């Protein structure tokens, strides 16, 4: 069932006006669309055509939201939902692949290279998701910043817009949150220690 742009726009506006129930209706609609786009995106990446996550979210926005009826804030809210949804999609995906890995199939899923972590222990999306939950419990805005930037692919400006804070705040939050997350991830998976029996 294709959601109508009118429906999504209406729900977005309602949510923007503080109606929490609207979000519960919105998420499945966005999920469906994001899932389709994410899959299409992955096959594009596979064939060498890259597209930025931001462009993807914009595409979802154009498809789902009647831009004539939606306000600037609606757009920011929509992006926030997209990021949240994308997080769910990707973490589920990572989890299913971990299951595969445990089953001995495919090759080990470690996003080390892909996440371009210069050094340090391997990390994956599932561990990151857990750490991010902890961060959100301590400081929900920082959790949101990471969600929007890393899962939603939003720029600093777009993130600031979605959270109604200044760009500078977003950058400070981003920097601190990354340090905090990195430390947490390092804690969770200490560097493998191999000991050799003395002679």
Partner 1 sequence: MLSERWQQIEGLYHAALEQDVAHRSGYLRQACAGDEELEREVESLLGQDEGGDEFLETPALDAAARVVAQDEALAGEAAGRGMVGASISHYQIIEELGGGGMGVVYKALDTRLGRPVALKFLRSPGLGLGRIGAEQSPQHQAETLERFRREARAASALNHPNIVVVHDVGQHAGQPFMVMEFLEGHTLKQVIEQGRLRTQAMIDLAIEIADGLAAAHAKGIIHRDIKPTNIFVTGPASGSPGQVKILDFGLAKSWTPDARPTGEPAATKPVTSAPTVTALDVSLTSPGVTVGTAAYMSPEQARREELDVRTDLFSFGVVLYELASGQRPFQGDVAAVVLHEILAETPVPLSQLNPRLPAELEHIVNKALEKDRTLRYQSAAEMGADLKRLKRDSSSAGTPAAWLPGAAKKSARTRIAIRRWWIAALLAVAAGAAWVNLEQRPWPIPKVGGYRQITNDGGMKGLIGTDGVRLYFYRNSGSGHWIGQVAVGGGEPARVPMPSPFFVLFDVAPDGASLLAAEIATYGEGPLWSVPMPGGSPHRIGNLAVSSAAWSQDGGRIAYAKRGDLFVAQSDGTAARKVASVAGGIAAPAWSPDGKRIRFTVYDDQRLLVYLWEASTEQRDGAHPLFAAGPSGDCCGRWTPDGRYFVFHRQGQIWAMPEPRRLAWRSPPKPVQITSGAVKFVEALPAKDSQHLFAVGVAPRGEVNRFDTRSGQFVPVLGGISADFATFSPDGQWIAYVTYPDGALWRTRLDRSERLQLTQAAPNSYVMLPRWSPDGTQILYSAAATGQLTRLYRVSASGGQPQPLLPGLNQVNSDGNWSPDGKKICFGGAAGSAGRPPVPNIHVLDLDTGSVTDVPGSDDFFSPRWSADGSYIAALNLDSTRLAVFRFATGKWEYLAKGTLSFPCWSHDSRTLYYIQSTNNPAVMRVRVADHRVERVIDLKDVNLTGFYGASLSLAPDDQPLLTHDSGSMEIFTLDWRAL
Per DSSP, 148 falls in state: I
Nearer to partner 1 (CB atom), residue 107 or residue 164: 107
Number of H helices, E strands in the chain: 8, 0
Residue 160 exposure: Cα atoms within 13 Å on the Cβ side: 11
Q: How far is CA 86 from the centre of its chain?
A: 5
Site residues for partner 1, 6-25, by CB under 8 A, read: none
Stretch that binds partner 1, among 16-24, 72-80, 143-151, 157-165 (CB under 8 A): 143-151
Nearer to partner 1 (CB atom), residue 41 or residue 78: 41
Residue 49 found at the interface with partner 1 (CB under 8 A): yes
Do residues 123 and 185 touch, judged by C-beta distance below 8 A?
yes
Do residues 171 and 156 touch, judged by C-beta distance below 8 A?
yes
Residue 146 found at the interface with partner 1 (CB under 8 A): yes
Binding test (CB under 8 A) with partner 1, winner from 52, 67, 71, 96: 52
Nearer to partner 1 (CB atom), residue 1 or residue 197: 197
Residue 137 found at the interface with partner 1 (CB under 8 A): no
Per DSSP, 107 falls in state: S
Site string for partner 1, 74-93 (x = CB under 8 A): ------------xx--x--x
Per DSSP, 191 falls in state: P
Query: How big is the site for partner 1, counted in residues (CB under 8 A)?
Result: 60
Dihedral angle computed from the Cα positions of residues 138, 149, 44 and 31, in that order, rounded to the nearest 10 degrees: 60
Stretch that binds partner 1, among 9-17, 34-42, 72-80, 156-164 (CB under 8 A): 34-42
Residue 31 found at the interface with partner 1 (CB under 8 A): no
Cβ neighbours, 10 Å, residue 123: 21
Residue 166 found at the interface with partner 1 (CB under 8 A): no
Binding test (CB under 8 A) with partner 1, winner from 45, 134, 157, 188: 45
Do residues 64 and 8 touch, judged by C-beta distance below 8 A?
yes
Nearer to partner 1 (CB atom), residue 15 or residue 150: 150
């Amino acid at each position: 069932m294709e959601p109508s742009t009118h429906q999504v726009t209406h729900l977005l506006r309602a949510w923007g006006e503080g109606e929490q129930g609207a979000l519960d209706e919105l998420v499945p609609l966005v999920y469906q669309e994001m899932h389709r786009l994410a899959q299409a995106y992955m096959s594009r990446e596979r064939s060498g055509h890259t597209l930025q996550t931001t462009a993807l979210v914009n595409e979802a926005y154009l498809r789902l939201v009647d831009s004539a009826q939606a306000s600037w804030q609606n757009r920011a809210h929509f992006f926030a939902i997209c990021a949240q949804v994308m997080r769910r999609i990707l973490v589920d995906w990572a989890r299913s692949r971990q299951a595969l890995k445990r089953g001995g199939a495919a090759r080990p899923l470690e996003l080390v290279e892909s996440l371009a972590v210069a050094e340090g222990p391997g990390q994956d999306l599932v561990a990151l998701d857990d750490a991010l939950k902890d961060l959100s419990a301590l400081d929900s805005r920082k959790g949101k910043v990471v969600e929007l930037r890393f899962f939603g692919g939003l720029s600093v400006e777009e993130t600031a817009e979605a959270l109604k804070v200044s760009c500078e705040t977003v950058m400070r939050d981003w920097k601190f949150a990354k340090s905090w997350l990195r430390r947490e991830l390092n804690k969770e998976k200490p560097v493998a220690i191999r000991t050799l029996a003395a002679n």
